[in-house]
Homo-oligomer: A and B are copies of this chain.
Amino acid sequence: MNATPQILLTNDDGILAPGLTALYEALSPVGMCTVVAPVTECSAVAHAITMRKPIRIQKSNHSFKGFGWAIDGTPADCVKFAVKKVLRSMPDLIVAGINHGANTGINTVYSGTVAGAAEGGIMNVPAFAISVASYEYDDFSTAAEFAQIIAKKILENRLPEYTFLNINVPPVPKEQIAGIRITHQGKTRYDEIFDERKDPSNNTYFWLRGERILLEHSEDSDEIAVANNYIAVTPLQCDLTNYNAMDYLRKWDISLE
């Protein structure tokens, strides 16, 4: 490559999150990094975009030497805004993270971080999301190091069309990492719990939480790979079609009477 690669960084933990700083520091030697991230934490916003309220922007100095744009929107908004109003062109790479908490299994679908990278997939710009697979583990160094390795690899080789990567790094020191595994999105779901409480005015409200249920135990699933201390690298795309079901449905011979 001749020109300096343009790298767009975003996340869903918000512009002040230490995982984003770690990512910025790891990728600055690889290319020109521009940060456009949500002003506040917005985990579990999935692929939401802001269309019913205005979007406001702040320039943030934070630790980014003048590169940070804080958006009161979602990660998907951030990528769209960056392409149109900050970079004014497609970047060479979009990276979302480093997320605090696993984005494996069905979390993939709920994750704002993954949606940030998915915007790359939709635009056919190489992209990846990267997460440390624990809310408790605060050391982003291994994930940052891997982000740099994979960023270089993608800039050299690109990715298959409309494809982006979802990377989950086990919450252990580097010497305990068992290796890298190319994985699929594990089949999981949550058993939800609505924790019922009363506010000071005696009105009922609920907190949503859930317990994860593994629906498969394949060695190639992201969930199992991370549990076995492998870095899980899952290629994703945004076509939800179940192609195998199309013929089944054609046999129904549905008509509008």
Contact = CB atoms under 8 A, between A and B. Distances in A.
Contacts of A85: 194, 206
A235 B252 CA distance: 13
B49 A48 contact: no
Interface stretch (A2-10, A17-25, A240-248): A240-248
Interface stretch (A61-69, A91-99, A176-184): A176-184
Contacts of A47: 46-47, 109-110
Interface in A82-121: 83-85, 106, 108-110, 115, 118
Contacts of A56: 203-206
Contacts of A84: 192-194
Contacts of A122: 106, 109, 189
Contacts of A33: none
Contact of A240 (B42, B153, B180, B185): B185
Interface in A124-156: 142, 145-146, 149-150, 153
A157 interface: yes
Given A206-B57, A240-B185, A256 B192 contact: no
A163 B242 CA distance: 7
Contact of A237 (B149, B150, B190, B242): B242
Contacts of A157: 252
